[in-house]
Structure 1
Amino acid sequence: MKGTVVIRALLVASLGLALTAAPARADIDDHWTDAWATALHRSSAATPPPVYQDQTIRMVVPMRGSGNAVRVQLSNAHGDQPVTFGAATVALRDSGAALADGTLKQVTFSGATSVTVPAGQVVHSDPVRLHVTEGQDLAVSIYLPSATGPATWHRSAVQTNYVSGPGDHTVDPDGGSFPATVRSWIFLDAVAVTRGPTPGTLVAVGDSITDGSGTAVDGFERWPDYLAARFAAKPGRHPAVVNAGIGGNSVLADTAQDGQSLLNRMERDVLAREGLTHVILLEGVNDLRNRATADELIAAYREIIARVHARGAKIYGGTITPFTGGSAHTPAAEAHRQAVNAWIATSGEFDGVVDFADAVADPADPQSLNPAYDRGDHLHPNAAGFAAMAAAVDLSLFR
């Protein structure tokens, strides 16, 4: 083992990489803001489930905030056994799986370069001194030395991430050691920033319509992506937009494939986000498709509102988008959708309203998606529809 460490150190030196450890430092600000995050769930229902052993995964994180230090959160929240992270690094991404020169940093956990996380737990890294700017891609590499069991993951990242052959390739500067790709987030829960201009975190929470089902891989066409771009185009400080959508997810019901209900995942995926200041809630269409009633959804929304307010954040209600002609649409489901949307718009219980339904409805038939925004299944908007949804968000709500 000692010889392996020496060889690895010599390799780093010969490549001219600026690899440095970053133990916790008292002079780094304790005010952290999540500048990227996802919503993780179980993978045991996948065929086959993703299991890793003696492999490195390099994931590319589009940063939605800026800072002079970062902190990584890894999660084994949905695993069935302890998982060892044998090494981890962060760096700015050049292209593909290649890293930008001079940016590679070792990640440590309470000063150690490896950590074992029990099933059901998460771990924060120590602060890493690295300047990141909103819009940059951060590469997070994790080495998994022993069999992980079914990985805690976010199934549909709609983004290319990279998987190595055997061995620890966390310090490899180019993509040559990563012959395979995966379009999921694996064990990576969030990246927080500090000592920068990002004042807080806005969590967009929902189902596949927030997760970006059907959008182009690496296209960043989800409505939260378009919202982040709107913020970035305006001068002044604004929150980092992070996406907590899960395709197929429901407000009320757990599923093996699509994660715990929103009620059950709220603490982990929304309330625990570093620097949380705002939430946009758009979820409920899958509940309606499974015969939930307006009263059931409204009761759940009231609980969610109370929990967000108790956290000291604001929450904006998004009206449920039309799905006439889509799978499991019925006249009864449509009546409940309209009742829910009327309550969202008029009850005053949310801190504000985003009328997503109106943004993508067919002007000639408001119970249906605008054909120009329909991906083809009469349920999911296309990229133009997601852009229209983001345009419906009043940015002044976040001053």
Structure 2
Amino acid sequence: MFRPLLAAVLGLALTTAPAHADPGGHWVDAWATALHRSSAAAIPPVYDNQTIRMVVPMRGSGNAVRVRLSNAHGDQPVTFGAVTVALSEGGASLAEGTLSPVTFSGASSVTVPAGQTVRSDSIRLHVRTGRHLAVSVYLPTATGPATWHRSAVQTNYVSEPGDHTGDPDGGSFPATMRSWIFLDAVAVNHGPTPGTLVAVGDSITDGSGTKVDGFERWPDRLAARLAAQPGRHPAVVNTGIGGNRVLTDTAQDGQSLLNRLERDVLSRAGLTHVILLEGGNDLRNGATADQLITAYKEIITKVRARGAKIYGGTITPCKGGSGHTGTVEAHRRTVNAWIATSGEFDGVIDFATAVADPLDPQSLAPAYDRGDHLHPNAAGFAAMADAVDLSLLR
């Protein structure tokens, strides 16, 4: 039972937007991440009287945006004293004339209880696929451990003390970081983007080892392929988490996919497609093919219940990598054969063959191996993106 004050705060955070905010229409998540717990790997940061400016690559177009902030993994309420959005001019600088304040049920600030998320009102702002949006959040009081995505592989900015959400340049942001903090999604409306494609997985989807600010992950490459095609295409958002498993929660790499599915996949605005590539970490930590297949069936059922299509990605080779054994390989082959032949998925994307060594399909091709025999390099991620039949996404 909530205390009266907390209930009032929660009511503000989760009520629908007022009439002037135009909450209607077809909202589509044009950027998203998977926020998680990772205290065993790194203690989440704490912020107090600071502004964070995050620069997100938009994968969809529209004439209105709204943001979703999350305190899903916090241990206390978090107050967002001010939030703004603007088109990025590079670094922490904002494009002139694009800065807009963000409101929540008409209020300029909002307090989000631990375990909750909040969507903003609609903000009139024209954005297009390929452009970067700067989202600035002011945290006036100590946050406790932040809800974050530890490895963003992208540069974001932390200010000196104070509210700098309206500062047009980077002079007030002396520090950088490579994480997403509290920001869960950015949605667009009143535009041509028909839906959201969620790429969900582990480090191979999250982009482990890719160049910072290089946008070399396979979902980035897939988004670029779609953007180069005529017609209307779904926005590709990435909810991979390095080290994540389908079956098991870990203190280092977050809740299992089964436990985070609702928050990170099913709740996405405008969800139309899911590409699932996860399970290698489970197999290398003792899970069996039967256990993984049973979980896949549950995920497929839940995605289809939301009216979306789901495509199965075959698990990529890992011979020579950490945890690989003959037993792991046998289970991987069994899982991949089921993905390819069972007919349970709406389609199959053969990531494994795309990056395998033709002379030894248990191994990554040398040209695609980052060096740990487990993660593809940039060329490998490009090959994975090229393995996606774009006709599946029309």
TM-score range normalised by the length of the shorter chain? over 0.9
Residue matched to 1:114:
109
Please give the TM-score of this superposition, normalised by the length of structure 2: 0.95
Residue matched to 2:3:
none
One-letter amino acid of the counterpart of residue 325, structure 1? G
One-letter amino acid of the counterpart of residue 158, structure 1? V
Work out whether residues 158 and 174 of structure 2, in 8 Å CA contact, stay in contact via their aligned partners in 1.
yes
Cα offset for 1:101? 0.2
Cα offset for 1:49? 2.8
One-letter amino acid of the counterpart of residue 381, structure 1? P
One-letter amino acid of the counterpart of residue 369, structure 1? L
Residue matched to 1:294:
289
Residue matched to 1:33:
28
Three-state SS of the structure 1 residue aligned to 2:352 is helix
Residue matched to 1:387:
382
| Backbone CA RMSD of aligned residues | 1.1
Work out whether residues 43 and 145 of structure 2, in 8 Å CA contact, stay in contact via their aligned partners in 1.
no
Work out whether residues 314 and 351 of structure 1, in 8 Å CA contact, stay in contact via their aligned partners in 2.
yes
Match runs of 1:360-399 below 5 Å: 360-399=355-394
Work out whether residues 93 and 139 of structure 1, in 8 Å CA contact, stay in contact via their aligned partners in 2.
yes
Return the match for 2:141 from 139, 146, 152.
Answer: 146
Matched, 1:304 2:299: yes
Separation in 2 of the partners of 1:269 and 1:94? 29
Separation in 2 of the partners of 1:269 and 1:49? 19
Work out whether residues 44 and 147 of structure 2, in 8 Å CA contact, stay in contact via their aligned partners in 1.
no
Please give the TM-score of this superposition, normalised by the length of structure 1: 0.93
For residues 54 and 26 of structure 1, do their structure 2 counterparts lie closer, same or farther at Cα, with a shift above 3 Å needed? closer
One-letter amino acid of the counterpart of residue 348, structure 1? G
Separation in 2 of the partners of 1:179 and 1:46? 25
Residue matched to 1:333:
328
Residue matched to 1:16:
none
Q: Deviation digits for residues 276-330 of structure 1, max 9, x if unmatched?
A: 0000000000001101000000000000000001011000000000000000000
Return the match for 1:201 from 191, 196, 199.
Answer: 196
Q: Deviation digits for residues 153-212 of structure 1, max 9, x if unmatched?
A: 001100000000100000000000000001000000000000000000000000000000
Three-state SS of the structure 1 residue aligned to 2:29 is strand
What percent identity do the matched residue pairs reach?
A: 83
Separation in 2 of the partners of 1:44 and 1:325? 28
Work out whether residues 38 and 254 of structure 2, in 8 Å CA contact, stay in contact via their aligned partners in 1.
no
One-letter amino acid of the counterpart of residue 314, structure 1? K
Return the match for 1:317 from 298, 309, 312.
Answer: 312
Three-state SS of the structure 2 residue aligned to 1:264 is helix
Work out whether residues 54 and 143 of structure 1, in 8 Å CA contact, stay in contact via their aligned partners in 2.
yes
Matched, 1:66 2:50: no
Three-state SS of the structure 1 residue aligned to 2:197 is strand
- Structure 1 residues without counterparts, runs of 5 or longer: 1-21
Work out whether residues 23 and 128 of structure 1, in 8 Å CA contact, stay in contact via their aligned partners in 2.
no
Separation in 2 of the partners of 1:32 and 1:204? 18
Separation in 2 of the partners of 1:110 and 1:26? 8
Separation in 2 of the partners of 1:99 and 1:244? 26
One-letter amino acid of the counterpart of residue 354, structure 1? I
Three-state SS of the structure 2 residue aligned to 1:388 is helix
For residues 27 and 186 of structure 1, do their structure 2 counterparts lie closer, same or farther at Cα, with a shift above 3 Å needed? closer
For residues 248 and 46 of structure 1, do their structure 2 counterparts lie closer, same or farther at Cα, with a shift above 3 Å needed? closer
Separation in 2 of the partners of 1:148 and 1:155? 16
How many correspondences in the alignment?
378
Three-state SS of the structure 2 residue aligned to 1:91 is strand
Cα offset for 1:256? 1.1
Work out whether residues 316 and 352 of structure 1, in 8 Å CA contact, stay in contact via their aligned partners in 2.
yes
One-letter amino acid of the counterpart of residue 201, structure 1? T
Separation in 2 of the partners of 1:336 and 1:24? 54
Separation in 2 of the partners of 1:43 and 1:337? 26
